[in-house]
């Protein structure tokens, strides 16, 4: 999962891009990058680390120009080497940079095709570089010295025909503008907004989440539709066109469960409102299963589950308490690479307040249970703090299947609920009682007044992959190449073979 942003303004966009990436930091903590252009030249800075650590004053001063794009990354494919940080760049045609959120399910085939047929070289293991080269090749095939919106939209149409999987993309074409587009299923989010400059000219921002627009003073216009492309020229002229033959809107359920900020609106659905409903219907399930429950207090595992936990406590008629204090200088454990790092960081990240646990029957609420690493540690922390009984509620259904669309759930063997019943998972995390949200209830929670939503991408819960190209052989190959051990090996290999990024603004 990543965060992307692109801006066309009437003045330098470096600070706007920095601020937007800071707002989107929750979507990726592995690497960050910004590229701008002025006088037909790109200015790029990217590296591993948080936004605040990657960009210093000396870097910001060099990022000149009134058009730019940015990216925050966490690794799903390839390694967490700085060579995989985005945006990526190709010099032909025109000079194009690209930032991508999602995952291509046919990246290997495309990479081979790019080499043998399109005569293009891929320098990393990133599917984002593959997507960039597909777009660049299709734009080059238009054969125009000065591309218009028609050539750009034609290139996007060709991308949709060649690329499978999930992708929300912002690309910048030197001297012309930026183009944003979503895959034909709209799995990964993207929206755009507008504001007026001091001289009355329209300025535009494209971003993964509406909260980035709000923070920068842009008014949201709408979500980019599945398969649609939005092209904004450097003078602020905006064009849009549907570029897919049969688009369907199937947004990712896990965005609402975990990834998105609660103050975002995604495809017309309030993330905050959806999480309130998750807590409400989960409380109803608790009352169905144990109408005579003995829960003394509901405690969220901060931060994502807080909204659901508050509503759950209200619905149950029991106390809501903040039992864990979070160290905000530790990143989100779910998106940290490596199981050992995730486990180690839990106790560094959370510290229990003993008086909220001592001699009480505690219901802990989390947004989901994926690997079970953090849940087991947290349950034990509650016991160590003196809880009489520790119950656990997940606002999401059991995560039993790998994700292939850009979320780091690549291997079934890493998922604690894969092939296990609820009672088995309960025993593994050490809880006295475990309750999961039902999938039907979760879908009810996220369904809203948006009639354009055709369904929801929930493959991690039901094993149904909507792109239709994921089978058992694909998942087996994925498991072999993307487990934690392989990722650690790839990282060591990258460290041993120091890769020099010639385009980066090095220290």
- DSSP string spanning 193-229? EEEE-TTS-EEEEEESSHHHHHHTTPEEEEEPPTTEE
Q: If we measure between CA atoms, which residue out of 143, 99, 78 comes closest to residue 4?
A: 99
Task: Check if 2 is active-site.
Answer: yes
- Kindly tell me the sign of the dihedral angle through the C-alpha atoms of 185, 186, 187, 188: positive
Radius of gyration of the chain (CA): 23
491 sits in which H/E element = helix 484-496
State which residues of the chain have pLDDT below 70: 75-81, 330-345, 410, 482-507
pLDDT at 498: 32
pLDDT at 411: 84
pLDDT at 500: 30
pLDDT at 348: 79
Is 367 assigned a ligand-binding role in the annotation?
yes
Tens-place pLDDT, residues 175-211: 999 999 999 999 999 999 999 998 899 999 999 999 9
- How many whole angstroms separate alpha carbon 76 and alpha carbon 482? 8
Q: If we measure between CA atoms, which residue out of 332, 474, 485 comes closest to residue 403?
A: 474
pLDDT at 431: 98
| Cα atoms in the Cβ-side hemisphere of radius 13 Å centred on 59 | 21
Are the beta carbons of 98 and 169 closer than 8 angstroms?
A: yes
The first and second tokens of residue 137, run together, are: 């090749």
Q: Of the residues 2, 163, 252, 375, which is catalytic?
A: 2
pLDDT at 345: 66
pTM listed for this prediction: 0.91
Q: What is the 3-state secondary structure (H, E, C) of 326-357?
A: ECCCCCCHHHCCCHHHHHHHHHHHEEECHHHC
Is 366 assigned a ligand-binding role in the annotation?
yes
- How many whole angstroms separate alpha carbon 239 and alpha carbon 468? 31
Tens-place pLDDT, residues 99-112: 999 999 999 999 99
Per the prediction, the chain carries an average pLDDT of 91
Is 150 assigned a ligand-binding role in the annotation?
no
pLDDT at 100: 97
């Amino acid at each position: 999962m990543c965060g992307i942003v692109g801006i066309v303004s009437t003045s330098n966009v470096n600070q706007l891009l920095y601020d937007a990436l800071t707002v989107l930091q929750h979507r990726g903590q592995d690497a960050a990058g910004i590229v701008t252009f002025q006088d037909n030249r790109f200015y790029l800075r990217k590296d591993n680390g948080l936004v605040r650590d990657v960009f210093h004053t000396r870097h910001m001063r060099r990022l000149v120009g009134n058009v730019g794009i940015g990216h925050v990354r966490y690794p799903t494919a390839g390694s967490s080497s700085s060579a995989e940080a985005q945006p990526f760049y190709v010099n032909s045609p025109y000079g194009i940079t690209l930032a991508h959120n999602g995952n291509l399910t046919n990246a290997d085939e495309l990479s081979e095709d790019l080499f043998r047929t399109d005569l293009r070289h891929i320098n990393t293991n990133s599917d984002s570089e593959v997507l960039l080269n597909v777009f660049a090749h299709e734009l080059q095939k238009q054969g125009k010295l000065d591309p218009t919106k028609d050539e750009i939209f034609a290139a996007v149409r060709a991308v949709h025909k060649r690329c499978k999987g999930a992708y929300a993309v912002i690309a910048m074409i030197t001297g012309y503008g930026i183009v944003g587009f979503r895959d034909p299923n709209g799995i990964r989010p993207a929206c755009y907004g507008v504001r007026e400059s001091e001289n009355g000219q329209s300025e535009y921002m494209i971003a993964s989440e509406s909260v980035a627009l709000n923070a920068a003073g842009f008014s949201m216009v709408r979500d980019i539709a599945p398969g649609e492309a939005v092209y904004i020229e450097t003078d602020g002229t905006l064009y849009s066109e549907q570029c897919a033959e049969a688009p369907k809107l199937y947004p990712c359920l896990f965005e609402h469960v975990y990834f998105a900020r609660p103050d975002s609106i995604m495809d017309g659905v309030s993330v905050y409102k959806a999480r309130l409903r998750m807590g409400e219907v989960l409380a109803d399930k608790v009352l169905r299963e144990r109408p005579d429950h003995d829960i003394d207090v509901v405690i969220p595992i901060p931060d994502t589950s807080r909204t659901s936990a508050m509503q759950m406590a209200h619905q149950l008629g029991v106390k809501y308490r903040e039992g864990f204090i979070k160290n905000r200088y530790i990143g989100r454990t779910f998106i940290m690479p490596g199981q050992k790092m995730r486990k180690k960081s839990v106790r560094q990240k959370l510290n229990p307040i003993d008086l909220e646990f001592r001699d009480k029957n505690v219901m802990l609420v989390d947004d989901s249970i994926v690997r079970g690493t953090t849940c087991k540690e947290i349950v034990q922390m509650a016991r160590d703090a003196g809880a009489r009984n520790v119950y656990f509620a997940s606002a999401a259904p059991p995560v039993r299947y790998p994700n292939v669309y850009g979320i780091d759930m690549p291997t079934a063997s890493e998922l604690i609920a894969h092939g296990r019943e609820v009672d088995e998972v309960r025993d593994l995390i050490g809880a006295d009682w475990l309750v999961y949200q039902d999938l039907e209830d979760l879908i009810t929670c996220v369904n809203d007044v948006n009639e354009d939503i055709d369904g929801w991408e929930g493959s991690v819960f039901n094993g149904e992959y909507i792109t239709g190209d994921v089978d058992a052989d694909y998942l087996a190959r994925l498991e072999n190449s993307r487990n934690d051990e392989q990722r650690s090996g790839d990282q060591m290999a990258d460290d041993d073979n120091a890769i020099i990024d010639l385009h980066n603004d090095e220290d």
